[in-house]
Amino acid sequence: MNILIAGGGIGGLTAALTLHQRGHAVTVLEAVREPRPLGVGINLLPHSVGVLEGLGLLPALRGMAVETSALVFANRHGQPIHRDARGVYGGYSHPQFSVHRGELQMLLWREACARLTVLSGQRVVGVRDGHVALIDTADGPREQAADLIVGADGIHSALRRRLAPDEGAPCWRGVMMWRGTTWAPPFLDGRTMVQAGHSRAKFVVYPISTPRADGLQLINWIADRRVRESAPGLTAPDRADWSRAGRLDDLLPTFGSWRFDWLDVPGLITRAEQMLEWPMVDRDPLPCWRLGPSTLLGDAAHPMVPIGSNGATQAIMDAQALADALDRHAGLDAALAAYEDKRRPLCARIVEMNRQEGLDAILDRVEALAPEGFAQLADVIDPAEVAAEVNAYKAAAGHQVKRA
Ligand SMILES: Cc1cc2nc3c(=O)[nH]c(=O)nc-3n(C[C@H](O)[C@H](O)[C@H](O)COP(=O)(O)OP(=O)(O)OC[C@H]3O[C@@H](n4cnc5c(N)ncnc54)[C@H](O)[C@@H]3O)c2cc1C
């Protein structure tokens, strides 16, 4: 098939490489003229790493990422609540990787440019007659026909708007995120991800590079803070303000005293190389992703609040599911229906679980019961109950069965 993919992010590029590998003629149309390694850290769960291994990218990933050993939940005093072993350390067949989003995107971009057609400076603005993409370029508008058009154009997707023209701005419930990176000494075993605090003020932190010669490691951190109470009709800050530089004054009053014996949170914040501010947003799940010979993938299909390391992972899983469905079904309609049946309910479930705070609900319970910390965790919460909750979330989010 002749396939056009709108969007050269992690989802669009993985889909392009996978569909090309299965014998399709693929063109990626990316709006940005000169893609740069934007963003900070993301996590790739083991099932998505398996997909990237299938594209021959495992050695390159190992070279640029940190193999995450565990996700540790802690209270705002730094006391551990639960340790969930991750990737091969948790018995999975593949590693979990903590990686710089922009570097991963650039890896996929280089591979896609080497294997198939990738055009930058091409913004897909609509579709005519079901199968002709309408494209804005610096040289003026143009059109390109395809057998299948895939909208992988992110949370502000133009192709999603065809399915939900009245949707408006993304949903915001009053939480802002500040994302930063800081060169700092490794903490814990140098490969652990930590989620500390509670849903009104939370600090997520993990390394995304191996230590350099001076022993420092690039540490990615995300500080979330509720700045408004959730209310119907609350709108996120203007889109022009997304990704703007954050200010220390926004964070230090809340996180300035979070000095643990294993991590200096205010030290990380004040020494950050960069600090960006984003609203924590998602969109309501759509009842359908397909319209004629077109479908959606990644954040265009199911933008979700970033809890549980699902953003990039689910986009990559979409890519594989779409390629599998096209392999298995002779007709395009049947293939797109099968793709959607496999992915849409699961992703809608994650959107909903993350709206209910996902695993952060555990942190909230501990904060409510022991705001000043605890002598013994078991006095506050049953550790077996926490483990069961973590495993239930993972199962519902599609973590795949461990190696026997
Ligand atoms: C600049 C940027 C920085 C990010 N930083 C982080 C981060 O630090 N941490 C994190 O967890 N997540 C980050 N994300 C989100 C994360 O990458 C996604 O949640 C996840 O990887 C799913 O990717 P996606 O490919 O579906 O969407 P995206 O990563 O959003 O990619 C969409 C791509 O489509 C392009 N595009 C948009 N509109 C059009 C159009 N009309 N026509 C053609 N192309 C279009 C965009 O330029 C982009 O390259 C970032 C996203 C972006 C765009």
Q: Are 371 and 201 in contact (CB under 8 A)?
A: no
Does the C-beta of 315 come closer than 6 Å to ligand 1?
yes
Can you give the pLDDT at residue 230?
A: 84
Question: What proportion of the chain, given as a percentage, has pLDDT over 70?
Answer: 98
DSSP E strand boundaries for 117-200: 117-120, 123-128, 132-137, 140-145, 148-151, 171-184, 192-198
**What is the spatial distance between Cα 133 and Cα 358, in angstroms, rounded to a whole number?**
37
Can you give the pLDDT at residue 241?
A: 61
Taking only the tens place, the pLDDT of each residue in 198-217 is 989 999 999 999 999 999 99
**pLDDT at 150 > cutoff 70:** yes
| Mutation choice for ligand 1 from 299, 314, 316, CB with most ligand atoms inside 8 A | 299
Minimal-distance CA residue to ligand 1 atom 19: 311
pLDDT tier for residue 253 given thresholds of 50, 70 and 90: very high
Classified as helix, coil or strand, 404 is coil
> Domain residues for 237?
171-282
Minimal-distance CA residue to ligand 1 atom 10: 42
274 domain residue, yes or no? yes
What is the 8-class DSSP label of residue 307? Answer: -
Q: How many domains does the chain have?
A: 1
Q: Are 42 and 309 in contact (CB under 8 A)?
A: yes
Can you give the pLDDT at residue 239?
A: 67
Does the C-beta of 151 come closer than 6 Å to ligand 1?
no
Can you give the pLDDT at residue 400?
A: 74
Does the C-beta of 293 come closer than 6 Å to ligand 1?
no
154 domain residue, yes or no? no
**What is the spatial distance between Cα 119 and Cα 57, in angstroms, rounded to a whole number?**
22
**What is the spatial distance between Cα 61 and Cα 190, in angstroms, rounded to a whole number?**
17
Mean pLDDT of the chain: 94
Instruction: Say which residue, 226 or 403, is predicted with more confidence.
Output: 226
Taking the CA of residue 306 as reference, the ligand 1 atom at the shortest distance is 11
Radius of gyration, CA atoms only, the chain: 21
Calculate how far, in angstroms, residue 221's C-alpha sits from the geometric centre of ligand 1: 19
**Most confidently modeled of 166-175, 306-315, 317-326, 384-393?**
317-326
The 3-class SS string of 96-124 reads: CEEEEHHHHHHHHHHHHHHHCEEEECCEE
Q: State the average pLDDT over residues 126-148.
A: 97
**pLDDT at 242 > cutoff 80:** no
92 domain residue, yes or no? no
Question: What proportion of the chain, given as a percentage, has pLDDT over 90?
Answer: 82
**pLDDT at 404 > cutoff 50:** no
Dig out the tokens for 224 from the structure.
Answer: 């979330």
258 domain residue, yes or no? yes
322 domain residue, yes or no? no
202 domain residue, yes or no? yes
Q: State the average pLDDT over residues 234-242.
A: 72
**pLDDT at 13 > cutoff 60:** yes
240 domain residue, yes or no? yes
Classified as helix, coil or strand, 175 is strand
What is the 8-class DSSP label of residue 171? Answer: E
**What is the spatial distance between Cα 297 and Cα 28, in angstroms, rounded to a whole number?**
13
Can you give the pLDDT at residue 199?
A: 87
Does the C-beta of 303 come closer than 6 Å to ligand 1?
no
Can you give the pLDDT at residue 308?
A: 82
Task: Specify the CATH number for the domain of residue 210.
Answer: 3.30.9.30
Minimal-distance CA residue to ligand 1 atom 35: 7
289, 233, 361: which is closest to 11 by C-alpha?
289
Q: State the average pLDDT over residues 6-32.
A: 98
**What is the spatial distance between Cα 395 and Cα 393, in angstroms, rounded to a whole number?**
5
323 domain residue, yes or no? no
Does the C-beta of 9 come closer than 6 Å to ligand 1?
yes
**pLDDT at 332 > cutoff 60:** yes
Q: State the average pLDDT over residues 314-337.
A: 97
| Mutation choice for ligand 1 from 5, 14, 17, 30, CB with most ligand atoms inside 8 A | 30
| Mutation choice for ligand 1 from 5, 10, 206, CB with most ligand atoms inside 8 A | 10
